[in-house]
Chains A and B, each alone.
Chain A
């Protein structure tokens, strides 16, 4: 943890880009690489698994509640209607991941814009925007998302929008803090001195330097968004015609005492996905802040 001795000769005098350096750090981090591998595997499985496997997740193919392992054709058993659980898992991941990614993107878009404006301009604008942010933090996120989805439509797009609308405040606060810190630095003054406009300074000078914590936060937001989507689908507020992991748990929950497998496997799938995302997020955090690593 101690700072490098300034007198010591530097071996790598070559200037590396920070992103490249972070990637080198990230590659050495075993849990993070394991998380990345797991995540890639899950994404590939949800993209191509259903095609390779060939089963229809909506079709009743066997007796209901066939336990896992009892029939080789259906390795994880069947649900309360007699639908193949493996087929459900492979199909149900797509919407969950897509909504998670879209919602995280929207969260970043709103959060970074509001946080950047507040942090850069300060004063009355900052005050107003932060009051607005505080207001959104008062609304319990899941309940507000439930209201939005119920009042408007239970489509995947609406779910992504609802999750984005409820999760941006934290991103806004983080962005604001970074902008407040960076806007006082010399290179920002220098950019202003050569006549750069506000927009250019915000998006071209400050934002790239604020990126590392924002990338970490975006990764963790994907995890939170996936959990949100799962919760909404579990409650039956998702698109009822699209198979998803949360929906599988919700649809089978009435029978948990006679059949544990139809709820257990989709839950494990959600857990492993979010777990992988968080390992990657932690790894990125360590890679961008090597000094914090021992903590």
Chain B
């Protein structure tokens, strides 16, 4: 297991090196002088700043030397300098990565819990009303633009049922309260963004767990469990779901990149202070170092999520525990 984890980590690092190389070439493929591209349109690209960038990035060196320096700096966590905010990119992202992780994890937990519950219930009666409802929800979840979902929720909850805050992550008036009050406040703000994002992905899990439960419910071990007199609940959740959960774990890992993309849109809708709003600011200011830094960190999050998924899969399926 430890050897496996090490190999996975090494491969993850390799993928990240790939992202760095891609970033490097993206900057150089963009139209215009790379120094000006790095400085950004509104970063006050004076002659001194441009000269400083040329020296910093070694733009007068051969391409391979430049790449080597860039790769080395990135791998040490130096993501460059944002010339608009005048601060290191790693610092800017560090301040925003927490809220994004919170949003993504909350949405993931909500969508998997509700989705799997719906799927399990639907699988009990494959032609019942709930099964039909799952198909309808699944199709809607696939077709609704996530940012529009968020806007509709804002309209609903801001003017019609004002029980959830529709903007930001915390109420500034509570800044002097104790941590518990502030925590509850953040969760209160989290409700709508997390739910908008979860609705889109809920559909996938409902559909998937319904199909895999239908597979599993016909299996011999489920019949055995029923025959020995296990309660319906125990049959569904202890015997069947444990096996039906495997494809759900796989898909949860595969969906992580999509979830992150969705989070970026939802963040801009709810003004959630995460990496999505940061990326959006970077785009408005043509701050490419910052934008590419966000891309790098987002890719790193996907790599980590994939490793965690693999480990979860191994834990859930004891057959894989020892080998490879």
- What 0/1 readout, one digit per residue, does chain A (257-285) give for beta carbons within 8 Å of chain B? 10010011001001110110111001000
B174 at the interface (CB under 8 A from A): no
A144 touches B295 (CB 8 A): yes
CB-based A-B contact count at 8 angstroms:
132
Distance of A223 Cα from B144 Cα, bound (Å):
10
B26: nearest chain-A partner, CB-CB: A151
Asked whether any CB of chain A lies closer than 8 Å to the CB of B47, the reply is: no
Which residues of B from 265 to 299 have beta carbons under 8 Å from A? 265, 268-269, 279-280, 283, 286, 288, 291-292, 294-295, 298-299
Q: Is the CB of A143 within 8 A of B294?
A: yes
* A275 in contact with B140 (CB, 8 Å): yes
Q: Give the Cβ gap from A213 to chain B, nearest Cβ, in Å.
A: 16
Interface of A is mostly: helix
Any B CB within 8 A of the CB of A253: yes
Q: How far is the CA of A157 from the CA of B261 in the complex (A)?
A: 21
Q: Which of B138-160 contact A (CB under 8 A)?
A: 139-140, 142-148, 151-152, 154-155, 158-159
Which listed residue, A249, A277, A279, touches B148 by the CB 8 Å rule? A249
What's the minimum C-beta distance from A150 to chain B, rounded to whole angstroms? 5
Q: Please, how many angstroms separate the alpha-carbon atoms of A287 and B59 in the complex?
A: 57
Q: In the complex, A144→B292 CA distance in Å?
A: 9
User: B126 near A: Cβ within 8 Å?
Assistant: yes
The docked-state distance in angstroms from the alpha carbon of A278 to that of B140 is: 9
Chain B residues with CB under 8 A of A152: 30-31
Residue B72 is within 8 A (CB to CB) of chain A in the complex: no
Query: Which residues of A from 238 to 259 have beta carbons under 8 Å from B?
Result: 246, 249, 253, 256-257
A36 interface residue (CB < 8 Å to B): no
Q: How large is the interface on B (under 10, 10 to 19, 20 to 34, 35 or more residues)?
A: 35 or more
From residue A263, how far is it (CB to closest CB) to chain B in Å? Answer: 5
Partner of B261, one of A135, A142, A275: A142
Given A235-B265, A271-B148, A278-B142, the answer on whether A138 and B257 have CB atoms closer than 8 Å is: yes
Q: Is the CB of B152 within 8 A of A138?
A: no
B-side contacts of A231, CB under 8 Å: 145-147, 265
Is B18 interfacial (CB 8 A cutoff)? yes
Known A-B contacts A139-B257, A267-B151, A267-B152; A223 and B143 likewise in contact (beta carbons under 8 Å): yes
In this complex, what residue of B is CB-closest to A144? Answer: B295
Given contacts A134-B15, A140-B257, A140-B260, is CB(A147)–CB(B26) below 8 Å? yes
A201 lies within 8 A of chain B by Cβ: no
Closest to A142 in B: B261
Within 8 Å CB of B145, what residues of A? Answer: 227, 230-231, 234, 246, 249, 267, 270-271, 274
Contact, CB under 8 Å: A267 / B139: no
Pairs A-B, 3 closest by C-beta atoms: A142-B261, A267-B148, A274-B143
Residues of chain A touching chain B, judged by Cβ–Cβ distance below 8 Å, are 134-135, 137-144, 146-148, 150-152, 223, 227, 230-231, 234-235, 237, 246, 249, 253, 256-257, 260, 263-264, 267, 270-272, 274-275, 277-279, 282, 294-295
Q: Footprint of A on B, CB under 8 Å?
A: 15, 18-19, 22, 26-27, 29-31, 37, 126, 139-140, 142-148, 151-152, 154-155, 158-159, 211, 214, 254, 257-258, 260-262, 264-265, 268-269, 279-280, 283, 286, 288, 291-292, 294-295, 298-299, 302-303, 306
27 pairs from A and B in contact (CB 8 Å cutoff):
A135-B18, A140-B302, A142-B261, A142-B264, A142-B265, A143-B294, A144-B295, A146-B264, A150-B291, A151-B29, A152-B30, A230-B145, A230-B148, A234-B145, A234-B147, A235-B283, A246-B145, A249-B148, A249-B151, A257-B158, A260-B155, A264-B155, A270-B145, A271-B145, A274-B142, A274-B145, A278-B143
